[in-house]
Chain A
Amino acid sequence: MATVSFKGTTRYYAGVDRPAVDRLDLEVADGEFLVLVGPSGCGKSTTLRMLAGLEGVDEGQLWIGDRDATNLPPKDRDIAMVFQNYALYPHMTVAENIGFHLKIQKMPKAERTERVLAAAKLLDLEKYLDRKPAKLSGGQRQRVAMGRAIVRRPQVFCMDEPLSNLDAKLRVQTRTQIASLQRELGVTTIYVTHDQVEAMTMGDRVAVLKDGQLQQCDTPVGLFARPANVFVAGFIGSPAMNLLPAKMTAEGASFGGIEVGITPAQRRALTTGEAVLGVRPEGWLITDQGVPATVDVVEELGSDQYLYCTVEGHPELITVRTQGLSKRQRGDLIHLRPQQDALHVFDAATGVRVAE
């Protein structure tokens, strides 16, 4: 068990001027489950691989517990990793795969067998200990990869999109299994994913990366309720938050012919006369007076209904969540008004959130 600290950690790739990870400062508490999330190419896997020792650190430092691990080889870091494609050794049985690290550590055979069996029991793999990975299903392989990590009782787990090769149903199941297993073991875990649902449901805290830079690191609720900038606002939440350019007026901010109120503090914080208003799909009121919008697509989920509407002068469709099974149709005209407490305000020039 240990903390993990990235201190200005930077990684360049050969031939690319822009760093893949740019001066990352991140503290992970002991026993915490931290999720790194972001679009592809944002540097989340590189961050994880630096922690695992599979990539060098060009600038800055990397600490695991009270040790500077910046230049330690992977074997001295006491970390375990679960790879996206599991990277099981194809010629070894499940038991040999799980016990490979212990064997290298020259652990006595009896103790090794016991540890492997305990891990297998935890993951419901006892029946498959003598099988080769090729004879296992995707979910079983994933569990073997987990077994290989937990049998070591390491300081830190590194998980690189471990669920992306599973089908949708199994992914949801395994998601909760991994999260509860981590809580049970209490091992500090860094988990990389591009799936924001995984990020929101699994992590104690979620770090959002873009272009190698940390955008925000907060609890799932914090990210959702107070996104630090336009990128995080659009990335977290599904369907995505509506981002609407607005002009400052005497009373507030105007969008689509209506005025919404903003606080004096927000007004002062804005650097220009323009703002970006963020409204989540569930943050709209359908009223008599509001922005006129034409329903373009109706997405019926049964429990909810999403209306994708066109608003004059706004190039993107606006998403509105309403009650499921309502009778709205394509072509209907509705009037929208954001709920005041669901309004997020961002600076149009910098994209940064302005506080209430």
Chain B
Amino acid sequence: MSTVELRRPPRRPKPAPGSKRFSPLRAVGLTVVGLFTAFNLLVLYWLVAASFKTPVEIFTDPFGLPKHWFALGKPFRNFAYAWEQAGFGHAFLVTVLLVAACAVAIVLISAPAAYALTRLGVRGANGLTNVIAIGMGVPFQTVVIPLFVGLAKIHLTNSLFGLFLVYVALSIPFTVFLLTGFFRSLPDELEEAAAIDGASPVRTFFSIMLPLARGGLITGLILNAIGLWNETLLSIVFLQDNAQFTLARALFTFYGAASYQSEYGGLIAGVAIVVLPMLVLYIVLARRIITGLTLGAGK
């Protein structure tokens, strides 16, 4: 008589001996990360909830659900108010165009620069890369006034093109640095194979290296887009004309008007309009961004 042996796989395979499941460090880490996440979720909830509330609701019941505007059947009243009063419609268009143009220009300039610094064996390339990296360490706030004076001399203040130049220039160090990591991680043999196949350095860059660094280019685009979308200080300094306001700049003006009229619901709705698109973009692309940032670090 034969018996069929019943083998049940363990619900959870055993960890390697010695790797303790529980450690104090792990517990502390989990607690800190948990609290941080909870706090951020709370702020996000407060922002979204408050953007649907009346000022009275915001102050008397900060963490409750919005009721008043829903009861009146006009739940999006705050958003409509902000959109109209702050001129967000136009600002939205300006911002999308400006941010897109900047992000593309930054990557177009940084990619060849990073390629040349890492791959062409240029004399002094390492030193130059370090100089560019130092550029990341200069807080742009410290150069706002000289920048303004400089641009004023060539009549590029209060001009979107002037702001475009400033954005591109200030974003290049980080992007070059990011992309050098990418290009460095590509194997040498591909270039050698291309050279033997008869491709010129320019051809090699465009047909071989650029497609392979695509992940890095996209990461560069996204990170710059998010950063510039939220950029406020420079837009306040360089733009004075309503017609050229970016979202952040328009929000700043709207902040003055809305708080004067105690329109806190509308104000917060305005903040939500500026912040939420980038949040959504980030959630959609988070994985891509993180792999982009860590690639080149490993092997």
Which residues of A approach B to under 8 Å, CB–CB? 52-54, 73-75, 79-81, 83, 85, 87-91, 100-101, 104-105, 148
Selected contact of B189 from candidates A80, A85, A100, CB within 8 Å: A85
Answer whether residue B97 sits at the interface, using C-beta atoms and an 8 A cutoff: no
Q: Which residues of chain B come closer than 8 Å to A100, judged between CB atoms?
A: 194, 197, 199, 207
B189–A104 contact, CB under 8 A?
A: no
Q: Which residues of chain A come closer than 8 Å to B198, judged between CB atoms?
A: 74-75, 101, 104-105
Residue of B nearest to A160 (CB): B189
Q: Which of B194, B196, B203, B207 has the most CB of A within 10 A?
A: B196
In angstroms, how far is the closest chain B Cβ from the Cβ of A79?
7
B195–A75 contact, CB under 8 A?
A: yes
Q: Number of A-B pairs whose CB atoms are under 8 Å?
A: 55
In angstroms, how far is the closest chain B Cβ from the Cβ of A53?
7
Q: Which residues of chain B come closer than 8 Å to A53, judged between CB atoms?
A: 195-196
Q: Which residues of chain A come closer than 8 Å to B199, judged between CB atoms?
A: 75, 100, 104
A83–B192 contact, CB under 8 A?
A: yes
In angstroms, how far is the closest chain A Cβ from the Cβ of B39?
42
Given contacts A74-B196, A75-B195, A104-B198, contact A83 B212 (CB under 8 A): no
Interface residues on B, range: 10 to 19
If A75-B196, A87-B187, A100-B194 are given as contacts, then 4 extra A-B residue pairs at C-beta distance below 8 Å, sorted by A number, are A53-B195, A91-B211, A104-B199, A148-B197
Which residues of B approach A to under 8 Å, CB–CB? 187, 189-190, 192-200, 203, 207-208, 211-212, 214
Q: Which residues of chain B come closer than 8 Å to A81, judged between CB atoms?
A: 192-193, 196
Given contacts A75-B198, A91-B212, A101-B198, contact A83 B203 (CB under 8 A): no
Selected contact of B190 from candidates A74, A87, A101, A104, CB within 8 Å: A87
B203–A54 contact, CB under 8 A?
A: no
Selected contact of A52 from candidates B196, B208, B211, CB within 8 Å: B196
Q: Which residues of chain A come closer than 8 Å to B197, judged between CB atoms?
A: 75, 100-101, 104, 148
Given contacts A52-B196, A74-B195, A105-B198, contact A83 B208 (CB under 8 A): no
CA distance A53 to B195 in the complex (A): 9
Q: Which residues of chain A come closer than 8 Å to B193, judged between CB atoms?
A: 81, 83, 87-89, 148
A89–B187 contact, CB under 8 A?
A: no
In angstroms, how far is the closest chain B Cβ from the Cβ of A74?
5
A89–B190 contact, CB under 8 A?
A: yes
Given contacts A91-B211, A104-B203, contact A79 B196 (CB under 8 A): yes
CA distance A308 to B281 in the complex (A): 70
Q: Which residues of chain A come closer than 8 Å to B192, judged between CB atoms?
A: 52, 54, 74, 81, 83, 87
In angstroms, how far is the closest chain A Cβ from the Cβ of B188?
9
CA distance A81 to B194 in the complex (A): 10
B187–A85 contact, CB under 8 A?
A: yes
In angstroms, how far is the closest chain A Cβ from the Cβ of B124?
16
CA distance A74 to B204 in the complex (A): 14
A54–B195 contact, CB under 8 A?
A: yes
Residue of B nearest to A75 (CB): B198
In angstroms, how far is the closest chain A Cβ from the Cβ of B198?
4
B211–A87 contact, CB under 8 A?
A: no
In angstroms, how far is the closest chain B Cβ from the Cβ of A49?
8
CA distance A52 to B194 in the complex (A): 12
Residue of A nearest to B195 (CB): A74
